[in-house]
Amino acid sequence: MPAAAITDRLRSARLGHALLQAAPGCALEVGRVAGPAVVVGPAGYPGAEVPLCQHRGAIVQALATGSLAAYARGLGLQGLGGSLYLRALVPAGADLGTGVIAVDRPPDRCLVVATTLCPHRAARAARDAQTIPPPTAGGQAQEVLVDLRVEAFHDAELGTTVLSWAHRPHPAVALQVEEAVRAAAAACLVEELLLETGAS
């Protein structure tokens, strides 16, 4: 398999793992085309065969060796089958597009994005995308926007950063926040591509 394809699969595995940790209720299907597959998920997830700790270990081993085969072995997927694939399993309505996942944490609603950028670059990309909506007319909507909280969590071992936007759900601002977070996710992806090509 070409080096670029290996890098892309491992990037998907790293980002998938980051989202599993940040978004309870999600899982990751990893398998081989026309071959076996396993479900990676947290304890208690229906049908989960591979715990998060085992998945992390497989990624770390693959990163250390630069081998996708090491990742497959770590999940018990060595042997028959075609190319390796990864597919996110998210609850209905949780995938908002552009890599944004919605998580309900009553009384808050949280939108999360995973990136391979360091926290500084991720925060800069999000800021440049103007991810915090400006105040809107109406006192009630204004209070909701003030309650918008942005956080970043960096996993140095996997080289991933999760950005999260938490706010009290309200129809006056929900779509506005979703659009802002999608813009942030797109900005992070562009920054990743610029780094890969040496243009940043």
Which fold does the domain 95-197 belong to in CATH? TATA-Binding Protein (3.30.310)
Look up residue 192 and give its two tokens. Answer: 């990743």
For the stretch 48-75, pLDDT in tens is 999 999 999 999 999 999 999 999 999 9
Least confident among 13-22, 93-102, 125-134? 125-134
- pLDDT of 1 strictly over 80: no
Look up residue 20 and give its two tokens. Answer: 């599993």
Each domain of the chain, given as residue ranges in start order, spans 3-89, 95-197
Judge whether 118 and 161 are in contact, CB under 8 Å.
yes
- pLDDT of 143 strictly over 50: no
For the stretch 119-137, pLDDT in tens is 999 998 888 876 555 555 4
Which pTM was predicted? Answer: 0.86
Instruction: Tell whether omega for the bond before 135 is within 30 degrees of 0, i.e. cis.
Output: no
Burial (CB count <10 Å: 0-12, 13-18, 19+), residue 49: middle
Sign of CA pseudo-dihedral 194, 195, 199, 200: positive
